[in-house]
Structure 1
Amino acid sequence: MSAVRTVLGDVPPGRLGMCDAHDHLFFGSPRLPGQELVSVPAARAELTAFREQGGGAVVQWTPYGLGRRAADLPPLSRETGVHVVAATGLHQDVHYAEGALAALRGRLADVFVAELTDGIGASGVRAGLVKVAGGFHALDAHARWTMAAAAEAHHATGAPVAVHLELGTGALDVLDVLCGESGVPPHRVILGHLNRSPDLVVHRQAAASGCYLAFDGPSRANHATDWRMPDAVRALAEAGHGDRILLGGDTTTAAARSVDSGPGMPYLLRRVGPRLALAVGDDLVRRILTVNPARAFAVDWR
């Protein structure tokens, strides 16, 4: 039976409720010094604020080596009543100190599988997806290495593979590698940041493959997100791909949290959902926030 693998265990997909399909409770990268998400009280407050807006689940895309704080996720989920899904995987190599990944050479897929089936380190918290990343309009050797390992982990476990697209680019190349070369079924692939490259033709081509398209990172006007996203979502819906769309907040810095005067997780339900409903209707927005993520993250785990 299909289930979403949360930090408190596997749950039926229908229990997720309204889902922030891509966000971060904890995250730290050398590229964002001084903006690390490390505070447990702030994470608790953010989840509480999200819950107060009707939120039911948050999928944390923070991968290996970037401060996931897996052991802190179960108590936060229990205390706030919000389902939390953790990730394994790797980000772009620029997010890691030089030499930090050397020990993973030759065993990366095994690490991903172990974190999906046995748990992340000593925490015992099992990941519910694999997160990897492409580059700007290209896939370098690091991206191909991580995607090959993600594909192996998918074939071993059934786990979905979520992909950071740099500024929303490279969607079709990623599908060529993951689905064409490595045999991952398209419906197990989630492409992130499509909002940052509002090419409606590429969006339709990607959706036609059967993959999921995540519009994540609202309130970033410099990424052409808020004011173009309704048109992009409407175009996908009119082309018959409304069941392929996901929404997320992608909070990656402390200043972006709602508890620090940023938009944060609640913004997705407080502002983005209602604005999107003006373009595509309340029913489709409800399905994008509930039915679509329930399908995207539910797996017949092996």
Structure 2
Amino acid sequence: MSAQIRTVLGDIAPAYLGITDSHDHLFFRSPTLPGQELDDPAAALVELKAFAALGGRAVAQWTPWGLGPRLDELPDLSRQSGVHVIAATGMHQARHYDPTELTPVYDGLTELFIRELTGPGIRAGMIKISGAYHHLDEHTRHVARAAAAAHHATDSPIGIHLEAGSAALEMLELLSDTHGIRPQRIILGHLHRFPDTRIHRRAAEVGAYLAFDGPSRAHHNTDWRLLDILAALTDAGHTHRILLGGDTVTATARSTADGPGMPFLLTTLRPRIERELGPDIATAIFIDNPASAFAANWRSR
């Protein structure tokens, strides 16, 4: 069976994915962001329709287990907007959870992840895990071990929240060398927050996907370097490793509020990339690369 992308409406061939926001959130809640929850289906639909009106055809929602992914809402939103939605299982940093919620599932994460990837009902199409700031803490190692086991059981891609973009190579070493995951199945997120092009090139050389995401997050203040980073990667022959996403994690970051939201990728970033780097590179970043990064030879244990 050929590789498929697992969406909330079922598996599709990679050729049908289309223009993709490779890292975003339709729903998200965390005790670290009180009062800024993404929990309004109507607002999510408006955002998706605005993205679709610009040619957007797919969104990967990296909201993992326990942070309000609202999986039951996603199929209807996908149908109404015409946008494919890839959901996530996995686990974020411990600080994003109430310990009373975390403790009961902590030692059974592998089974939890596999169930959400392959079980009955709405299925996730990726695993999301997280690193710590410039290091790998015990929580990271515990969740990574479970994610690796779930990956080997299902072939699911793994997306990684890199705290402030740091510890990218350490995460690659943990997953690849320790747990035997091919780098081509790994997506490193938030790399624009740590704009070290040497690290970016090294990660691309071994085969990982590099996700630059977060124009909605004004406090990171590295967006102005994005085109230079992309140019450095393309000049080094790594165009096929690049992904872009919006990473909208607060209600005020949506285009319907005070932020750029999902549409910014297509109103601003894609035209700039086409103009400054070329239309073929834009096509690779928004269409070809996501179709490869999120595809899997799905299997059930």
TM-score, normalisation: structure 1: 0.97
Matches within 5 A, 1:230-245: 230-245=227-242
Which of 161, 171, 184 matches 2:168? 171
Partner of 1:23: 24
- Secondary structure, in 3 states, of the residue corresponding to 2:290? helix
User: Shift of residue 259 of structure 1?
Assistant: 1.1
Partner of 1:95: 96
Whether the 8 Å CA contact 1:89–1:132 is kept in 2: the answer is yes
User: Shift of residue 18 of structure 1?
Assistant: 0.2
Whether the 8 Å CA contact 1:63–1:131 is kept in 2: the answer is yes
Residues paired across the two proteins, number: 298
Counterparts of 1:131 and 1:56, CA distance in 2: 21
Whether the 8 Å CA contact 2:57–2:84 is kept in 1: the answer is yes
| Percent of aligned pairs sharing the same letter | 55
Which of 142, 145, 150 matches 1:145? 142
Whether the 8 Å CA contact 2:214–2:246 is kept in 1: the answer is yes
Q: Which runs of 5+ in 1 are unaligned?
A: none
User: Shift of residue 283 of structure 1?
Assistant: 1.2
User: Shift of residue 171 of structure 1?
Assistant: 0.2
Matches within 5 A, 1:28-47: 28-47=29-48
Whether the 8 Å CA contact 1:21–1:58 is kept in 2: the answer is yes
Whether the 8 Å CA contact 1:219–1:226 is kept in 2: the answer is no
User: Structure 1: which 4+ aligned runs deviate by more than 3 Å?
Assistant: 219-222
Code of the residue aligned with 1:251 in structure 2: it is: T
Code of the residue aligned with 2:153 in structure 1: it is: A
Counterparts of 1:69 and 1:89, CA distance in 2: 14
Counterparts of 1:115 and 1:219, CA distance in 2: 28
User: Shift of residue 140 of structure 1?
Assistant: 0.4
Q: Deviations over 1:69-92 (max 9, x none)?
A: 000000000011000000000000
Matches within 5 A, 1:257-296: 257-296=254-293
Code of the residue aligned with 2:297 in structure 1: it is: D
User: Shift of residue 281 of structure 1?
Assistant: 1.1
Single out whichever of 275-284 and 58-67 deviates more from structure 2: 275-284
Which of 168, 173, 191 matches 1:194? 191
Partner of 2:13: 12
TM-score, normalisation: structure 2: 0.97
Does residue 228 (structure 1) correspond to residue 229 (structure 2)? The answer is no
Partner of 1:68: 69
Counterparts of 2:74 and 2:255, CA distance in 1: 19
Whether the 8 Å CA contact 2:217–2:248 is kept in 1: the answer is no
Counterparts of 1:271 and 1:40, CA distance in 2: 25
Code of the residue aligned with 1:42 in structure 2: it is: A
